[in-house]
Every structure is written in C-alpha cells, then in structure tokens.
Amino acid sequence: MYSDLNKYTVSINDSLTEVLKKINDLPDVLTVFVADLNLKIVGTITDGDIRRGLIHGLGMNDAIEQFMFTSFSFLTQGENNFEKLKTFRQRRLKVVPLLDSKGRLVKIYNFTEIKSILPIDAVLMAGGEGIRLRPLTENTPKPLLKIGTKEIIAYNIDRLYQFGISKQHITVNYLADQIVSYCQSYQNHAVRFDLIHEKELKGTAGALSLIEHFENEHVLLMNSDLLTNVNYEDLYITFVESKADMLVVSTPYEVNLPYAIFDTNDTEVLSFKEKPSYRYFANAGIYLFKKELIGLIPKDRMYHATDFMNDVIASGKKLIHFPIRGYWLDIGKHNDFEKAQKDVLHINWE
C-alpha cells in the first residue's frame, strides 16, 4: 500500500506527456489512476494502454481519456473485500485502488508487496518485562531486541501487513516510551498503530478491555515476542469455514517416552507399548476471534488468554485450533533467542 497517492494519480486534463512521466517514475507498477475534476477515479492508464492507443492512430496531443481503461477493478472502503481479492488473484492483477463511496482514491494496494487483505484488527502484546531474558531486557523491552537485522516485533508488524492487516494495536507497559517512539518512527507509514498503555499489567488478554474501537469484526491477538511465518489467510479461511467463534494457533509437541508403558488393571498388565511417542498440540500464543467476544473480558482483574478460552467454552461458543504449518518460535529464554538468530536466516517469508 502507498501513502503518497499523488504519485499514482493524474488529472483528466493532464497531457499524455505528464502521464508518461508519472508512469516512468513507477517502474514497479507502470500504472496511474485518472481522476476527474471532483477527484473521482474514472479510469486507469498503463504503458500498454498508451502503446495500443498510438498503434490505433491516437497521437500525443489527444486527450488522455481516449487512452484510459474505464472498466477497471477496485475495492470499496468499508466493505469486506476478501471475496473480491480471490477474483483479482485469478486475473493476476498487481495494483488495485481502494475507493470511498464517492469514488475517490483512499489507498492503492500493490499485490507484489502484500499477499491479502484480511478484515482483521491485530493486537500485539508488548507490555511484559522479559525477565527470563535479562540482562538483555534490563534497558530494552523484549519486543525491541534484534533478531538478525530487525527487532522481534518488526517481524510481526511486517508479517501482519503482508496480509493487509494495517490496523495494529500495541499494548505497552514496561519501558513503554521506547516502544511508543519506535512505532511513531516506523518506516512503513501505511501501518496504523494504536498504542494501549496498561498502567498495571492485565494479563495476556486483559488489555483487550482497554481498546475502545475496532474497525473490523474479527480481532487477532498475539504475543509480540513470537518469530513466525504463519499464513494468516489460511488461518482466517479456516476460522470462517469452521464457523468458529474463536481460533487458537497450535504447535505440535512430541513426547517420546524411553520406557515400555503398561496398560494395567490394578496390578495386572493387559498390554504395553515399547518406548511410545505421543503428539499433543500446544498453545502457540496467536488467537483469532469475533469482536463480540470481548464482552466476556472483565475490566477489574488480571485476565489471561487461557481464561478467555475457558470462558468461550463455558459460554457454549465454538473454539477450534489451527495447527501451524510453518515456522514458529516463542522467544522466552536465552537459548530461544540464540536459536532465533540462527533460524531467521532460513525462514521462508514468501
């Protein structure tokens, strides 16, 4: 997505030379959007449109509306555009505008940079002290520790943005000023941060009660100290198709027992398994849920994500888990931090 929309728009009264100059300055997209005098987008022009127009007899002095393509694809502000996105992918469109109700340009989505447009607000929990990583966290909050060339939290911010999740709420407490300053100067200005200050730590889900407004009907809550390339679109599709109220991402956990294990009836051995292995699914610290569930969260006490899951089950709602298929690491201890430094060089972020 782009913040400087003027670079990608031309006026319907501009000359073809001006249009060519703008297209030449946009080698990644080679497309400009044509606005009328009321700033309504009325067409697009690519280098191919100009080439075809010249072949068919148009000249450099002809009006640009004779070159432009008027049946262009677009997204509409305030709508769930996820279904439209599927058709855009099938047609392999690279650049699509987001228009408001009057047809004016709001954003430009470049699908060479992002993978999807998910109707989700994200909440990243970044208020913890990171005690197990001291002395690294004595003067630096854990989310701002670097893995390779980037801060831990930056991998999550950028990954969410890749899937079109640009509204990101960050909960802060310990060394909060550093995280606030970091977000205010973040290099990707298309990400919109909402900093939530926890005066007292409220647990891994309690800070949700402090957020006054969510733009979307679905909320994704996650720890900011995770290193993961989870596919958020697969996660969202699974959530919707399962008609779930809440989804928790899970990671497989293998238990290998070194002994023969008996199946017994009192003292009688009925059967046994030699050195069996068991697979369990553990909580990976990423949750997707319907916004309406926030009403379950108390405002006056500590409240963890595990409490949230229990309350969802107790209220008769549907909770499912999503086994992660990519990379996942909870950077909680020094050996995790050291492992992340090695692994990050080989993680597939595509």
Q: Provide the pairing of β-strand 218-223 with 120-125.
A: parallel
- So what's the pLDDT on residue 41? 92
- So what's the pLDDT on residue 203? 87
Q: What is the pTM of this model?
A: 0.82
Bigger pLDDT: 7 or 250?
Answer: 250
Tokens of 113: 């940079």
Which range among 19-28, 161-170, 253-262 has the greatest average pLDDT?
Answer: 161-170
- So what's the pLDDT on residue 146? 95
- Tell me how long the chain is: 350
pLDDT band at 2, cuts 50/70/90?
A: very low
Contact 5, 29 (CB under 8 A): no
Bigger pLDDT: 113 or 243?
Answer: 243
Rounded to the nearest integer, the mean pLDDT of the chain is 89
Hey, how many other C-beta atoms are within 10 angstroms of the C-beta on 255? 9
* Interior/surface letters 15-52, b for 16+ CB within 10 angstroms, e for the rest: ebeebeebbeeeeebebbbbbeeeeebebbbbeebbee
**Helix %, strand %, coil % for the chain, to 5?**
30, 30, 40
pLDDT in tens, 62-85: 888 899 999 988 888 877 777 787
Using the predicted structure, report yes or no on whether residue 59 has a pLDDT greater than 50. Answer: yes
Which sign does the torsion angle of CA 232, 237, 240, 243 carry?
Answer: negative
For residue 59, the surrounding DSSP H or E stretch is none
- The full set of domain ranges for the chain reads 5-110, 120-346
Within 134-280, residue ranges assigned H as helices are 152-162, 176-184, 203-206, 232-241
Segment 231-241 mean pLDDT: 94
Count Cα neighbours of 135 within 13 Å in the Cβ-side half-sphere. 0
Record: fold of 120-346:
Spore Coat Polysaccharide Biosynthesis Protein SpsA; Chain A (3.90.550)
Record: fold of 5-110:
CBS-domain (3.10.580)
Bigger pLDDT: 168 or 86?
Answer: 168
Using the predicted structure, report yes or no on whether residue 4 has a pLDDT greater than 80. Answer: no
Within 171-218, residue ranges assigned H as helices are 176-184, 203-206
- So what's the pLDDT on residue 243? 95
Using the predicted structure, report yes or no on whether residue 3 has a pLDDT greater than 60. Answer: no
Segment 25-38 mean pLDDT: 85
Peptide bond into 27 cis (omega under 30): no
Contact 298, 308 (CB under 8 A): no
Hey, how many other C-beta atoms are within 10 angstroms of the C-beta on 292? 11
Contact 82, 163 (CB under 8 A): no
Contact 219, 291 (CB under 8 A): yes
Nearest residue to 173 (alpha-carbon basis) of 210, 128, 135: 128
- So what's the pLDDT on residue 106? 87
- So what's the pLDDT on residue 195? 94
The C-alpha atoms of residue 74 and residue 216 are separated, in whole angstroms, by 20
Using the predicted structure, report yes or no on whether residue 115 has a pLDDT greater than 50. Answer: yes
Question: Residues 6 or more apart from 126 whose CB is under 8 A from it?
Answer: 141, 143, 153, 170, 171, 172, 179, 224
Nearest residue to 65 (alpha-carbon basis) of 29, 37, 101: 37
Using the predicted structure, report yes or no on whether residue 18 has a pLDDT greater than 80. Answer: yes
Which range among 59-63, 144-148, 271-275 has the greatest average pLDDT?
Answer: 144-148
- So what's the pLDDT on residue 274? 87
Q: Tell me the one-letter amino acid at 224.
A: S
The C-alpha atoms of residue 204 and residue 49 are separated, in whole angstroms, by 53
Using the predicted structure, report yes or no on whether residue 176 has a pLDDT greater than 50. Answer: yes
- So what's the pLDDT on residue 266? 85
Bigger pLDDT: 189 or 133?
Answer: 133
Contact 145, 178 (CB under 8 A): no
- So what's the pLDDT on residue 94? 77
DSSP one-letter string for 32-44: EEEE-TTSBEEEE
User: What is residue 300's DSSP assignment?
Assistant: S
- So what's the pLDDT on residue 155? 96
The C-alpha atoms of residue 119 and residue 231 are separated, in whole angstroms, by 15
| Least confident piece of the model among 109-113, 209-213, 339-343 | 109-113
- So what's the pLDDT on residue 28? 73
The C-alpha atoms of residue 147 and residue 349 are separated, in whole angstroms, by 15
Using the predicted structure, report yes or no on whether residue 281 has a pLDDT greater than 90. Answer: no
pLDDT over 90 for what percent of the chain? 53
- So what's the pLDDT on residue 344? 93
- So what's the pLDDT on residue 342? 95
